[in-house]
Amino acid sequence: MLHTQPPTFQERIKSLSQPDNDHREGSKVDDGVGGGNRRDVSHVDITQEIGFLGFYCGQWVLVQFGAFIVLCGATHLINLWTFGMHSRTVAVVMTTAKVLTAAVSCATALMLVHIIPDLLSVKTRELFLKNKAAELDREMGLIRTQEETGRHVRMLTHEIRSTLDRHTILKTTLVELGRTLALEECALWMPTRTGLELQLSYTLRQQNPVGYTVPIQLPVINQVFSNSARQWHVHELELVEVVADQVAVALSHAAILEESMRARDLLMEQNVALDHARREAETAVRARNDFLAVMNHEMRTPMHAVIALSSLLQETELTPEQRLMVETILRSSNLLATLINDVLDLSRLEDGSLQLDLGSFDLHAVFREVLNLIKPIASVKKLPVTLNLAPDLPEYAIGDEKRLMQTILNVIGNAVKFSKEGSISITAFVAKSESLRDSRAPDFFPVPSDNHFYLRVQVKDAGQGINPPDIPKLFTKFAHTQTLATKNSRGSGLGLAICKRFVNLMEGHIWIESEGLGKGCMAIFIVKLGIPENTSESKNPFLPKANHGQTTFPGLKVLVLDDNGVSRMVTKELLVHLGCDVTTASSRDECLHVVSQDHKELEMFHIDLAQSKHFYLSK
């Protein structure tokens, strides 16, 4: 604005006609610039001066000066005529001219006396304004540069932040900085991991910076900005600082992004790997199940064949050695068969595909059968076996009969197997809440309910006993304690593990107590069984169940004629139980009355009547 046309006279006058402002400013400026002003005044152009004068005081001074000039000229002109002989008129005119001139010059002089301080002050003001204008020009220049710088910074920031790629960020920074500050070379030093040194990492012109490092505390670094060839302006330094901050932020963002991208890639890889592993596992399980299903049949068939034929062979005529051999074969193949069954059962138990076959069964009968099975073996070893069933043990229960029997048999079998002497006692009773909870089974929470009961079976023997620390191992697959393995390796190793799983399936708990080697042991298990709804499930040889639905003579209409009330009632009830539709009559007449109603066909049964033994019905 100030650099366009020099201010017109009108503008200057306008500005000068506000005396208060100018006066104040003028007085401020006077102190510093006064001396210079005075010097400058002497170099002022006279025409400009006149011009100032003329326009400041208006026409009056101009007129006066005009008049003076005119009169002075006139006087000197008239003086020319006085060179020779001149008349009196000329002398008078001359004198008048001179007087006028003198008057005008006095008036002018008086005028000037008034004007000149003002003129001088105008001048000072003008000069002050000039300086001010120059200063403003300078400041304008500064602001402009600053604005330019700001624009550069914004552009730089925009460039830097527009990308999340580390290299691009730094390259852009260097390029833009170089352009903005007109740099020959720009280098980026970054602190190393230890934070004690600065490492040269990027440069503008040089492509591959060698790894110069410089300790961070070196005083040279601080001096760089003071003693360099180029004079750094404050705004330039500020620009560099701002840029540096922005770059730092951008770099950290870039680092975070890199990190998260890496994590995401890792997760995806892991997912793929896990999926693959899962599919492999599923394939393996399926393959194993298929294998088991096939082997189940394939293995058992030859096994049974061997056992059956060996038993048959045993029945034939054999020499003692042959007999011994056959017995060994039979024993081993029985063991093998048991093992195969156990393995197949256990693998089905393992994947939880085994389910109990629930049904109603005779509980007492189960125990009796187990006893029958075990008695021969026990008597061979001369071990008396006693069975105690509690009187309140329900006769019938709902559960998996086969597997319960398997469990009981296994437990009792173990007792017999590992006893050389002493007696074996089996107790079975309904477990009440105190005997249900066991300190050894802290996570066994039996919940008594109305249609279930807990059966507790205890098998005590006076055999080898077990070392208490070995007890937990008993229930793990294929685990043999030292003593068991060396002495009596007829155990399959799986039996108790399977029992435990069956018992668990029956929502129960099994454990073994023993005081030590040689002190016998007691195996205890508790299982949950259901109580059958209809308690009178006992087979009745006399009558079929009181079930009016299924009958032998459905809907047969019967007329009972008997004069004895008691007998009549009994017979009626009997026939009702057989499903007949019974009417009663107590005399012949009543009978006829009933019969005449609606019967078409009549079968007659003899009922003992006192009056007439043979009763005849016509119709």
- Rounded least distance, CB 577 to other proteins, Å: 6
Residue 134: its H or E element: helix 88-161
| Min CB(579)–other proteins separation in Å | 13
Residue from 567, 581, 593, 617 binding other proteins (CB under 8 A): 567
Q: Cβ of residue 280: shortest distance to other proteins, in angstroms?
A: 58
Q: Is 433 in the site for other proteins (CB under 8 A)?
A: no
Q: Which of 20, 542, 550, 589 is in the footprint of other proteins by CB under 8 A? A: 542
Interacting residues with other proteins between 11 and 70 (CB under 8 A) = none
Give yes or no for residue 613 binding other proteins (CB under 8 A): no
Give the residue with the Cβ less far from other proteins, 224 or 546. Answer: 546
Q: Is 392 near other proteins (CB under 8 A)?
A: yes
Q: How far apart are the first and last CA of the chain?
A: 147
Binding other proteins (rule: CB under 8 A), the pick from 608, 612, 613, 616 is: 608
Tokens of 65: 């000066």
Q: Of the ranges 42-50, 371-379, 543-551, 579-587, which one interacts with other proteins (CB under 8 A)?
A: 543-551
According to the binding rule CB under 8 A, does residue 390 interact with other proteins? no
Question: How distant is the alpha carbon of residue 289 from its chain centre?
Answer: 35
Binding segment for other proteins among 75-83, 222-230, 258-266, 568-576 (CB under 8 A)?
568-576
Q: Which of 390, 573, 599, 604 binds other proteins (CB under 8 A)?
A: 573
SS3 per residue for 28-96: HHHHHHHHHHHHHHCCCCHHHHHHHHHHHHCHHHHHHHHHHHHHHHHHHHHHHHCCCCCCHHHHHHHHH
- Near other proteins by CB under 8 A: residue from 375, 577, 594, 595: 577
Residues 112-131 binding other proteins (CB under 8 A) are none
What residues pair up with 42 in beta bridges, in sequence order? none
Q: Please say which residue, 201 or 586, places its beta carbon nearer to other proteins.
A: 586
| Nearer to other proteins among residue 5 and residue 451 (C-beta) | 451
Residues 509-538 that bind other proteins (CB under 8 A): 535
DSSP E strand boundaries for 206-293 = 213-215
For 389, the enclosing helix (H) or strand (E) is strand 385-389
229 binds other proteins (CB under 8 A): no
What letter represents residue 595's amino acid? V
569 binds other proteins (CB under 8 A): yes
Q: Is residue 574 close enough to count as binding other proteins by CB under 8 A?
A: yes
The pair of structure tokens assigned to 590 is: 């009543």
Rounded Cα distance between 566 and 195, Å, is 116
* Calpha distance 72→93 (Å, rounded): 13
How many angstroms separate the CA atoms of 530 and 534, rounded?
Answer: 12
- CA gap 56, 116 in Å, rounded: 11
- Number of helices (H), then strands (E), in the chain: 17, 12
Q: Which stretch binds other proteins (CB under 8 A): 69-77, 89-97, 150-158, 561-569?
A: 561-569
| Residue 488 in the binding site for other proteins (CB under 8 A) | no
The nearer residue to other proteins, 282 or 395, going by C-beta atoms, is 395
Q: How many CA atoms lie within 13 A of 9 on its CB side?
A: 8
C-beta contacts of 306-312 below 8 A and 24+ residues apart: 306/333, 307/333, 307/334, 307/337
- State whether the Cα torsion 534-535-541-547 is positive or negative: negative
**DSSP at 563:** S
* Closest CB 564 distance from other proteins, rounded Å: 5
564 contacts other proteins (rule: CB under 8 A):
yes
322 contributes a contact to other proteins by CB under 8 A: no
For other proteins, the binding residue among 487, 540, 554, 605 (CB under 8 A) is 540
Tell me which of 66, 215, 302, 565 binds other proteins, using CB under 8 A: 565
- The least CB distance from residue 573 to other proteins, in Å, is 5
Least CB distance to other proteins at residue 400 (A): 27
- For other proteins, give the closer residue by CB, 21 or 535: 535
The single residue among 440, 548, 557, 593 that binds other proteins, judged by CB under 8 A, is 548
For residue 563, state whether it binds other proteins (rule: CB under 8 A): yes
Q: Could you give the CA distance from residue 58 to residue 54 in angstroms, rounded to a whole number?
A: 6
Judged by CB under 8 A, which stretch of 42-50, 137-145, 161-169, 566-574 contacts other proteins? 566-574
Quote the CA–CA distance of 389 and 386 in Å, as a whole number: 10
Taking the least distance from each CB to other proteins, the nearer of 147 and 573 is: 573
Q: What is the DSSP string of 487-547?
A: H-TT--S-HHHHHHHHHHHTT-EEEEEE-STTS-EEEEEEEEEEPPS-S--S--SSS--S-
Tokens of 615: 């009763």
Contacts of 184 (CB under 8 A, 6+ apart): 205
Task: Identify the residue among 221, 268, 570, 617 touching other proteins (CB under 8 A).
Answer: 570
Give the total of residues touching other proteins (CB under 8 A): 19
**Rounded to an integer, what is the distance from CA 519 to the centroid of its chain?**
55
Instruction: Check residue 252 for interaction with other proteins (CB under 8 A).
Output: no
- 234 binds other proteins per the rule CB under 8 A: no
Decide whether 36 or 565 has the Cβ nearer to other proteins. 565
From 294-302, 419-427, 565-573, 591-599, give the range in contact with other proteins by CB under 8 A.
565-573
Phi, then psi, of 521 in degrees rounded to 5 = -150, 165
Nearer to other proteins, 77 or 570 (CB): 570
Binding segment for other proteins among 69-77, 264-272, 415-423, 573-581 (CB under 8 A)? 573-581
Minimum distance from residue 538 beta carbon to other proteins (Å) = 8
- Binding segment for other proteins (CB under 8 A), chosen from 9-17, 22-30, 147-155, 557-565, is 557-565
Give how far the C-alpha of residue 430 lies from the chain's centroid of Cα atoms, to the nearest Å.
Answer: 49
Distance CA 156, CA 395 (A): 94
Cβ-based nearer residue to other proteins, 477 or 577: 577
Tokens of 219: 């005083």
Report yes or no: 591 and 585 within 8 Å, Cβ to Cβ. Answer: yes
- Interface positions with other proteins (CB under 8 A): 392, 535, 540, 542-543, 546, 548, 563-567, 569-570, 573-574, 577, 608, 610
